[in-house]
Amino acid sequence: MTRVALARARTGARWYLRIALAAVLLFDLALLTGMLLGGERGPRALASAPALLQAILGRPELVLPLAIAGGVALVRFAMAPGRVGAALVAVACIGVLCEARAASVGGPERFLFAGGTVLVGWLAGLAFARAGGGDRDAEERAAELGAIAALATIYVNAASQKLLASGIGWADGDDLRMLVLSQRPLDGSPTDAVADLVVGSRTLAFTLAAFVETAQLAAISYPFDRRARAVVGAMLIAFHVGVRLLTPISFPQSIALLVIFSFPWGRLLERRGLALADAPDRLLARRPLRGALAIATGAAALAALSFVPPVRSTIESVSHPGEVARPTSAPREAEGPAPFDAARAAALGIDAPGDRIGPCEVASVEASDVDATLVWLVCDGAELGIEVAPTGSRPFHPPRRTRAHDLFYRDREGAHAPAPDSVRDAALDELAARLEQR
Amino acid sequence: MRWTERRLAALLAIAVMLGYSAVASSVRSFYPFSVFPMYSASPIDRSVARIVARTAGGDATEVTAYRAFACDRELDVDRIAAECGAAFAPQYVDDALATHVRARSGELPDGSGEEIEIVRRLWTLDEQGAFTVSDCVLARCSAVRDEAARDEAAR
């Protein structure tokens, strides 16, 4: 029966890649299911996450149907080419479980994203082939290229983020040494000695950091040339293995995807006598610009959807935990006056409740921590909290920083209408400017 | 324009890369889209810290090498910055270690534990690239070592 099923699945120009991709996603699904069935809510569980995501944790009656639906969809996707609906169901099921996990631990766990990213690329390739009038039998060639481009984008984005946040200085090696110190195992294992070596040698650390940055930036060439793909793929695998040697950080799914998509497995299979599809191994899009337009339209629609208020608040609640999910002070009581700590307010240049900060009015000022002050503002009916802490006192990157202060923002727990981004940014800018002048 | 196979592939790849990045930039991290910003920023003030167990002999070891704790105070990671100063420390690592200690805290039979201190070890990088190490004691505990973990490490 298995042989019959496998024979049936061996249709389509890239059946072996489709099956391998489905296997990686099934691994993600199993991992998430286990985490959510057995996991406890972490100390930084996101109270502002949607109720559905919070409700899933530890509830087999919710987790298992999603896992089964996702699993069935992945098997259906693997069994035949072009099953877009099954792939979308799989992404949706894994997505809900993944975001439920994020809600339970206080933020996204991106090692679970790689499979979904590559599947999105696969679907984009199918869309390109179909909108571009390609040969239906050969559309998995386009799906393969889409998946490869999506895989490359993971690393190009990671490199871009490093350059944007830290500049070329990220590769000076000191950041890597500090990262290793903060995460390395202290268990007397052989990898301890490797970590000692990296921490102790600025030159070695620089070499490794430069290698990481080079490998990730080189991923931009990954989709465009088969030889470059094999070289860059091997470099990226080496990067993941190196990280695992020095820290407990592990990305097995990414390694698997790099192995799957970096090397010419099709040729190897053909040499072993496993016939590939009879379809021509070409893209054959008659209207390629229409294909590219289909991808651009889909991306634009998704980006626009992400700004629709209910969707936005859901994304914000699980996507930016560093900014909105600091341990919150208790929600303000509905009864009684709002707290106003005059000394803390004066230190921030606020005289009294009702003072204007940008487009908002001050509602309350209170201590949020020993060293931090929380200012609640009312902005056109929406409540916005700005936490002012000493510069560098939080392990998050603040949306605004002055010489002496970091400014974070948060929405009121359970608030239905968070302040719009433009209003929030204006209030942050105004308060930061005041603090800078003091 | 003649669409060769190479040009078609390049057009498709560029469309996917730009499309994915555009959506990822708008959501930052929402499955399956992300800009993958992990560990992109330099540690604050060139200081980095982690929670470790310090034995009576002064050796640093993993807190997870112990399976039972009786401490003089609860480990509260939210107070670490106030008590020990600011430094880069991955929040989820501190949280996991504090959860490990809290979940295994209780009375220990007399004499069954080893005296340890749970400290926040801070490394500060100087201009020459050398690290200054300092410890801030978070709790003093009697703790029972996890023999299985020790055996595994020894192997």
**ipTM rounded to 2 decimals:** 0.84
What are the chain B neighbours of A145 within 8 Å (beta carbons)? 9, 12-13, 16
Q: Which helix (H) or strand (E) holds B68?
A: strand B66-71
CB A251 within 8 A of CB A236: no
CA separation for the pair A161, B28 (Å, rounded): 11
Nearest chain B residue to A202 by CA: give it: B129
| Residue A233 banded pLDDT, cuts 50, 70, 90 | very high
Mind listing the pLDDT tens digit for each residue in B33-56? 999 888 777 666 678 899 999 998
Lowest model confidence (mean pLDDT) among A114-118, A160-164, A399-403, B94-98: A399-403
Record the tokens describing residue A138, joined without a space.
């050969």
Report the residue from A113, A152, A371 with minimal CB separation from B31: A113
Ranges A129-133, A380-384, B114-118, B142-146: which has the least confidence: A380-384
Confidence label for A128 from pLDDT (cuts 50, 70 and 90): very high
| Most B CBs within 10 Å, among A118, A254, A302, to test the B interface | A302
The pLDDT score that the predictor gives to residue A332 is: 38
Min Cα distance A274 → chain B (Å) is 25
Over 60: is that where the pLDDT of A9 sits?
A: yes
* A385/A365 Cα distance (integer angstroms): 10
The pLDDT value given to residue A327: 34
Cross-chain residue pair A153–B99, CB shorter than 8 Å: no
Judged by average pLDDT, the poorest of A141-155, A312-326, A367-381 is A312-326
CA-nearest residue to B47 within chain A is: A178
d(CA A191, CA A337) in angstroms, rounded, equals: 57
Which residue of A199, A224, A392 is in closest CB contact with B86? A392
Asked whether residue A66 carries a pLDDT value surpassing 50, the answer given is yes
Q: Nearest CA of chain B to the CA of A323: how many Å?
A: 13
For B102, name the nearest residue in chain A, comparing CA atoms only: A43
pLDDT tens figures, A164-201: 887 777 777 888 898 899 888 887 778 888 898 999 99
The encoded tokens of residue A83 equal 């099953």
Mean pLDDT (chain B) is 85
pLDDT digits (tens, 9 = 90+) for A398-430: 778 887 888 887 766 555 566 777 788 888 888
What's the predicted TM-score (pTM) here? 0.76
Beta bridge partners of A366: A374
Average pLDDT over residues B118-122: 92
